[in-house]
Chains A and B, each alone.
Chain A
């Protein structure tokens, strides 16, 4: 059923949203943003200081009308942290991805709760799992982790499957495979082991 070695072709960019791009250009006139297409989505990257004002425009502008916040994710790219917003418009039925890059040492970005109240718990989760600070969030206390949890679990520096306090020990001994590689079958005449 599956063939060894055969690779499907790398999927090409399938989408092109000229009206959306034009509307963005008009709406985000003063904002230094970059946009690209990834698969079938238009991805806009903004600087952190413009996030709140840009999101207000994205929601209120009649040709954008992104009134539905689907998801806010945090990503750890090791060199920097990133916050990704997935947006959808109920009336115009188009979608958008907004990315914001944040420095590792001081990841602060404005909270978008004034625009979408549904950002509340997404931001709390990203704050406790990545350490991103959302300024203006009314109550940024931990949501999913227990009180007294140390560290930011979803960062790449947080080792998986290691007891806290034993990172040095685990770093020396890398995790080995659970099953040993298949051994050669016994030669004929050796009898049962």
Chain B
């Protein structure tokens, strides 16, 4: 016997006759609102292609091993066992040709500006840039120096700025998680061209 759609215990006699009805009720609960494809293949994930690519990209960000100065030490600390970036899928990679993210950790000096730009151009799209630390964001404590570029965004389009001198490992993790969120939101729309022209 059913009450309000919820199958309730039935007596033995009613069990035999009501079995079919219960199954039909329970089935209707499960399949309500689902498309025929989902009814037939229940374990399949459905989504737009951009969403799935973004999910894959954000879960496996490979930063290029690129520490310039003091922030690099905190970046290495974040990769190591105590804070562990590997659980986010982040594996540091020496070659720019196989990496996704460039974490500019440290002061950008004018002499280094050309190599940085060259490395950025060697990275294949889609690529992102995180400016880690005060020096990469705006020049930091070297703001009046004759040889420092006041922020890496004079050379590269930056996605995430992480303040701090140096930022704590937790701050770098937060920055990477925000980058992951940004990747999901952008969903593959390659706006790097627009950013560069801006």
| A–B contact, 8 Å CB criterion (strictly below) | yes
Interface residues of A (CB under 8 A from B): 144-146, 149, 153, 158, 160-161
Nearest-neighbour CB distance to chain A for B148, whole angstroms, equals 11
Supply 9 further A-B pairs (C-beta < 8 A) apart from A146-B109, A149-B147.
Answer: A144-B147, A145-B147, A146-B110, A146-B111, A153-B146, A153-B147, A160-B146, A161-B143, A161-B144
Q: Which residues of A contact B143 (CB under 8 A)?
A: 161
Q: Is the CB of A146 within 8 A of B144?
A: no
Question: Who on chain B is nearest to A147 by CB?
Answer: B111
Nearest-neighbour CB distance to chain B for A149, whole angstroms, equals 8
Label chain A's interface by main secondary structure: loop
Q: Is the CB of A160 within 8 A of B144?
A: yes
Q: Which residues of B contact A149 (CB under 8 A)?
A: 147
Question: Who on chain A is nearest to B114 by CB?
Answer: A146
Q: Which residues of B contact A145 (CB under 8 A)?
A: 111, 147
11 A-B pairs whose Cβ atoms sit less than 8 Å apart in the complex? A145-B111, A145-B147, A146-B109, A146-B110, A146-B111, A146-B147, A149-B147, A153-B146, A160-B146, A161-B143, A161-B144
Give the CA-CA distance A65 to B89 in the complex, in Å.
59
Q: Which residues of A contact B146 (CB under 8 A)?
A: 153, 158, 160-161
**Total A-B residue pairs with C-beta atoms closer than 8 Å?**
17
Give the CA-CA distance A149 to B145 in the complex, in Å.
14
Give the CA-CA distance A144 to B144 in the complex, in Å.
17
Nearest-neighbour CB distance to chain A for B93, whole angstroms, equals 28
Nearest-neighbour CB distance to chain B for A186, whole angstroms, equals 32
Nearest-neighbour CB distance to chain A for B151, whole angstroms, equals 15
Nearest-neighbour CB distance to chain B for A112, whole angstroms, equals 27
Give the CA-CA distance A146 to B111 in the complex, in Å.
5
Nearest-neighbour CB distance to chain B for A154, whole angstroms, equals 10
Q: Which residues of B contact A144 (CB under 8 A)?
A: 147
From 133 to 156 in chain B, residues with beta carbon under 8 angstroms from any chain A beta carbon are 143-147
Q: Which residues of A contact B147 (CB under 8 A)?
A: 144-146, 149, 153
Give the CA-CA distance A144 to B110 in the complex, in Å.
11
Question: Who on chain A is nearest to B144 by CB?
Answer: A161
Give the CA-CA distance A158 to B146 in the complex, in Å.
10
Give the CA-CA distance A55 to B147 in the complex, in Å.
34
Question: Who on chain B is nearest to A160 by CB?
Answer: B144
Q: Which residues of B contact A153 (CB under 8 A)?
A: 146-147
Q: Which residues of B contact A146 (CB under 8 A)?
A: 109-111, 147
Question: Who on chain B is nearest to A153 by CB?
Answer: B146
Q: Which residues of B contact A161 (CB under 8 A)?
A: 143-146
Question: Who on chain A is nearest to B143 by CB?
Answer: A161
Q: Which 7 A-B pairs have the closest CB atoms?
A: A161-B144, A146-B111, A153-B146, A146-B110, A160-B144, A145-B147, A160-B146
From 17 to 42 in chain B, residues with beta carbon under 8 angstroms from any chain A beta carbon are none
Q: Which residues of A contact B144 (CB under 8 A)?
A: 160-161
Give the CA-CA distance A153 to B148 in the complex, in Å.
13
Nearest-neighbour CB distance to chain B for A173, whole angstroms, equals 15
Question: Who on chain B is nearest to A154 by CB?
Answer: B146
Give the CA-CA distance A161 to B143 in the complex, in Å.
8
Give the CA-CA distance A146 to B112 in the complex, in Å.
9
Question: Who on chain A is nearest to B113 by CB?
Answer: A146
Give the CA-CA distance A153 to B146 in the complex, in Å.
8
Q: Which residues of A contact B110 (CB under 8 A)?
A: 146
Question: Who on chain B is nearest to A146 by CB?
Answer: B111
* Chain B window 48-65, contacts with chain A (Cβ cutoff 8 Å), 1 for yes, 0 for no: 000000000000000000
